[in-house]
């Protein structure tokens, strides 16, 4: 039976030590502050933004929220980003995705000052990650890496399989795992015979957004299984991309949903805000 990686507990501990760090920074006149922009009425995004504001509250990070109408035009969004870029009291800017379809998210991400890009989505920060330079690592992959570290899971020389190649999870995670010397394979919607690949994996990270996709027969005995997926079933229940009940019988470690990667993503965002504040005040 797998050991459960308790992301909720780990995230709580990280936020507690961040709170102490933030208190000290404030004594030195450095006040970390996050500005969050939400455009439109996406219900899931509203929940994510609320969770981020709660985490700021817990860590002592100041928080400002900009809720823009669904009909907001690109020039209005860009001028808000520009205003926040210029404000010395704002350490980090987070633009909640997805944006309404008429807005170009890549243009918007590119407009954020890279030194305030606490989500790690600016092309300059993505490039730095690829080159192995210090940068803001996207919060979900960063959270996955911190979980592995906290549970002393050494991935050097191991076969790591990521399912999903999105810009926010799969692709940056490739770099993170490579930097720890794993041998990385990425599967996506065109991958053939996915189970042949996952069965050879020592580590599987499922990030595709399909409820219970990873089944027991796709996983080898002793595999470490990290479930990034968040899927709401028709009955309202939240589940991941992994069939937790079945796969946990075979895995050595597994993350639950909820209470796994989700809380860690938010904790890493808080870390990135504090890092930004410190860098801006060197």
- 169 binds ligand NAP per the rule CB under 6 A: yes
CA 161 to chain centre: 18
Looking at 188, 215, 232, 249, which residue binds ligand NAP (CB under 6 A)?
Answer: 188
Looking at 262, 271, 272, 276, which residue binds ligand NAP (CB under 6 A)?
Answer: 262
Tell me the C-alpha distance between 25 and 156, whole Å.
35
- Centre a 10 Å sphere on the Cβ of residue 232 and count the other Cβ atoms it contains: 11
Looking at 38, 77, 129, 163, which residue binds ligand NAP (CB under 6 A)?
Answer: 163
Looking at 5, 108, 182, 230, which residue binds ligand NAP (CB under 6 A)?
Answer: 230
- 138 binds ligand NAP per the rule CB under 6 A: no
- 114 binds ligand NAP per the rule CB under 6 A: no
- 192 binds ligand NAP per the rule CB under 6 A: no
Which range binds ligand NAP by CB under 6 A, 77-85, 88-96, 144-152, 258-266?
258-266
Residue partners of 30: CB distance under 8 A and separation at least 6: 277, 278, 281
Bond preceding residue 98 cis, omega within 30 of 0: yes
Looking at 26, 58, 180, 210, which residue binds ligand NAP (CB under 6 A)?
Answer: 210
If the CB atoms of residues 32 and 260 are measured against ligand NAP, the closer one turns out to be: 260
Point out the catalytic residue in the list 96, 227, 243, 250. Answer: 96
- 208 binds ligand NAP per the rule CB under 6 A: yes
- 166 binds ligand NAP per the rule CB under 6 A: yes
- 164 binds ligand NAP per the rule CB under 6 A: yes
Tell me the C-alpha distance between 102 and 168, whole Å.
20
Q: Which two tokens stand for residue 105?
A: 């998210």
Angle between helices 139-150 and 170-179 (to 10 degrees): 40
Tell me the C-alpha distance between 277 and 142, whole Å.
18
Any idea what the Cα angle at residue 38 is, between residues 37 and 44, rounded to 5°?
A: 140
Side-chain half-sphere exposure of 268, counting CA atoms within 13 A: 23
Tell me the C-alpha distance between 272 and 268, whole Å.
6
- 261 binds ligand NAP per the rule CB under 6 A: yes
60 annotated to bind ligand: no
209 annotated to bind ligand: no
Angle between helices 7-27 and 261-280 (to 10 degrees): 20
- 60 binds ligand NAP per the rule CB under 6 A: no
- 92 binds ligand NAP per the rule CB under 6 A: no
203, 161 contact by CB (below 8 A): yes
- Is 96 one of the annotated active-site residues of the chain? yes
Size of the site for ligand NAP (CB under 6 A): 25
Residue 68 bridge partners (DSSP): 39
The binding site for ligand NAP (CB under 6 A) comprises: 140, 163-166, 168-170, 187-191, 194, 207-210, 228-231, 261-262, 265
Catalytic residues: 52, 96, 119
Binding-site positions? 164-166, 230
């Amino acid at each position: 039976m797998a050991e459960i990686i308790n992301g909720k507990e780990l995230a709580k501990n990280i936020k507690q030590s961040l709170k102490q760090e933030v208190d000290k920074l404030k004594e030195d006149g450095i006040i970390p502050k996050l500005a969050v922009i939400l455009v439109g009425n996406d219900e899931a995004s509203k929940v994510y933004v609320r969770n981020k504001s709660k985490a700021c509250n817990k860590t002592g990070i100041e928080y400002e929220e900009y809720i823009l109408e669904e009909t907001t035009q690109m020039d209005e969004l860009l001028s808000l980003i520009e205003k926040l870029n210029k404000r010395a009291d704002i350490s980090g800017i987070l633009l909640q995705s997805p944006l309404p379809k008429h807005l170009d998210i890549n243009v918007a991400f590119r407009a954020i000052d890279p030194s305030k890009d606490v989500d790690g989505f600016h092309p300059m920060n993505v490039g730095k990650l690829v080159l192995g330079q210090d940068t803001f690592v996207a919060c979900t992959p960063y959270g996955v890496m911190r979980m592995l570290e906290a549970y002393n899971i050494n991935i050097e020389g191991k076969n790591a399989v990521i399912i999903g190649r999105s810009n926010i999870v799969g692709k940056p995670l490739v770099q993170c795992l490579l930097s720890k010397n794993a041998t990385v394979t990425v599967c996506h919607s065109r991958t053939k015979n996915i189970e042949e690949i996952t069965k050879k994996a020592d580590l599987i990270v499922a990030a595709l957004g399909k409820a219970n996709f990873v089944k027991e027969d796709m996983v080898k005995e002793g595999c470490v299984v990290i479930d990034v997926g968040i899927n709401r079933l028709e009955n309202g229940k939240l589940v991941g991309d992994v069939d937790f009940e079945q796969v946990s019988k075979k895995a050595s470690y597994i993350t639950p949903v909820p209470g796994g990667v989700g809380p860690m993503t938010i904790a890493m965002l808080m870390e990135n805000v504090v890092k930004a504040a410190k860098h801006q005040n060197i």
